[in-house]
Amino acid sequence: MTYDFLQHYWCFIVSLLGAILVFLLFVQGANSCMRSLGWTEEGKRLVINSTGRKWEFTFTTLVTFGGAFFASFPLFYSTSFGGAYWLWMLILFTFVLQAVSYEFQNKLGNFLGPRTFQFFLVLNGLLGPFLLGVAVATFFEGANFIVDKSTLTSPLLLEGQGQAISRWANASHGLDALLNPWVLVFGLAVMFLARTLGILYVMNNVNDDDIRSRGSVRLIGAAVPFLLLFVAFLVHLLLKDGYAYNDEGLIYMEPYKYLHNFIEMWPLALLFVVGVVLVLWGIATEALGGKCSFFNVQSSILKGIWPAGIGTVLTVLPLLLTAAWNHTAYYPSTADLQSSLTLANSCSSEFTLRTMFYVSFLIPFVLAYIVYCWRKIDAKKLDKEEIKNDHAY
């Protein structure tokens, strides 16, 4: 179990958490469509209570994703979360709005009214996935920061006057990423993917014919823009120059780097293709009114949210690994090429990674608990009778 293995192992764990987070953004996606899916006040409450059963999973995964990054790659955490803080603060702010909106929209004494908090849920449903997509896109497009490790040996550090190792190269602190059109394309792709998954989830989870009939139409309106944007970004990614580094740590531009990564790490490419097929399968089965079945087996597991959700994880996971494995700088710097972050120059110590490796054996038990809770929560499909009790949102 070498240091290099531990670096790649924790990159895999962080990427897996990121992939699961993208799937769980169906909560935000469904909320962004609540008005068109629910239409009536009762219908909107059905959508909100459907996603309200799962929003804690999304929020917890987001926090765990950030915590895993902090523990395994602290230089990335300090550079991105500390430098691009306006971008991350906006993301966290929208998620805080979501949590508050669920709890207070129908509480007594809510002087703002339920519609205000429903608007906040829609805002989180649009901005949350979009801004997370923007942050992830910088793994491929780069960010405007400078890393100077020489500050660690500065005499001023002993006097408490030392500067931070990394700093943002301009005053935008992350918002400059919005000026890159390809970052916007990827951000919008994630937003429409979340809407697609959200519609699929509500159609599967809510027992209401009106919502299901409207969902089939809304699904096309979300899936088509997602596919167009995702394919455009994928073609751009495979044809663009990438950020590579050699055994000495020197970072340089390599033509078709990400295409080379998929070719040289062909199992990841195969996993990516399987994921894309599953996403298309999940969309097609619901878009065709559930008439499309695998070998004529009529099972809900083979339709809608489940193949699309699993496919999302299998697509995002190799995409994130392609940004970091095979001697690739996973957080490129557009201000100073040699400041770009790699697995080798930004990770924790070998002792820390090795200790956390043994702790990570608890992850399967946590996932098993999540699956158990999920099955219990969704044992019965949501209907209009259930939202009449005092515990409904």
- pLDDT tens for 278-330 read 999 999 888 776 555 444 444 555 668 889 999 999 999 999 999 999 999 99
Beta bridge partners of 244: 252, 328
Do residues 279 and 197 lie in contact, with contact meaning Cβ atoms separated by under 8 Å? no
What are 322-357's pLDDT values in tens digits?
999 999 999 999 888 988 999 988 888 889 889 888
Of the candidates 27, 144, 48, 164, the residue with the CA atom closest to the CA atom of residue 87: 144
Handedness of CA 373, 70, 31, 217 (dihedral sign): negative
Residues with Cβ within 8 Å of 146's Cβ and at least 6 positions away in sequence, in order, are 166, 167, 168, 169, 333, 335, 336, 339
Integer Cα distance of 325 and 303 in angstroms? 33
The pLDDT score that the predictor gives to residue 281 is 92
Alpha-carbon span 229 to 243, nearest angstrom: 23
Higher per-residue confidence, 161 vs 287: 287
Question: What is the average per-residue pLDDT within 202-214?
Answer: 81
Q: What mean pLDDT do residues 26-54 have? A: 84
Whether the pLDDT of residue 193 is over 90: the answer is yes
Task: Determine the 3-state secondary structure of 252 from DSSP.
Answer: strand
The residue among 284, 285, 222, 230 whose CA lies nearest residue 36 is 222
Higher pLDDT, 159 or 217: 217
pLDDT at 249: 84
Alpha-helix residue ranges (DSSP H) falling in the chain: 3-24, 26-32, 34-38, 41-52, 55-72, 74-76, 82-83, 85-104, 114-141, 155-158, 181-205, 209-239, 257-264, 266-287, 305-322, 343-346, 350-359, 363-377
Say what the pLDDT of residue 299 is.
52
Burial class (CB in 10 A: 0-12, 13-18, 19+), 269: middle
- Average pLDDT taken over every residue of the chain: 85
> H helices of 250-290, where?
257-264, 266-287
Taking each helix axis from N to C terminus, what angle separates 350-359 and 55-72, rounded to the nearest 10 degrees?
150
| 288: Cβ contacts below 8 Å, ≥ 6 apart | none
Report, as an integer, the average pLDDT of 123-152. Answer: 87
Tallying the residues shown for the chain, one arrives at 393
State the pLDDT at residue 113: 72
In this structure, are strands 145-147 and 166-168 parallel, antiparallel, or unpaired? antiparallel
Give the model confidence (pLDDT) of 43-58 as tens digits.
788 888 888 888 888 8
pLDDT value at position 297?
45
CB atoms within 10 A of CB 296: 5
Q: How many CB atoms lie within 10 A of CB 57?
A: 18
- Type and span of the H or E element at 167: strand 166-168
Half-sphere exposure of 349 (CA within 13 A, CB side): 3
DSSP annotation of 146? E
State whether residue 247 is helix, strand or coil: coil
Q: Which of 43-47, 160-164, 235-239 has the highest mean pLDDT?
A: 235-239
Cα separation, 130 vs 126, whole angstroms: 6
Query: Which amino acid does the sequence have at 111?
Result: F
Per the CB < 8 A criterion, the answer to whether 376 and 99 are in contact is: no
pLDDT recorded at residue 370: 81
CA distances from 159 to 50, 163, 165 (A): 55, 11, 16
Is there a contact between 214 and 36 (Cβ–Cβ < 8 Å)? yes
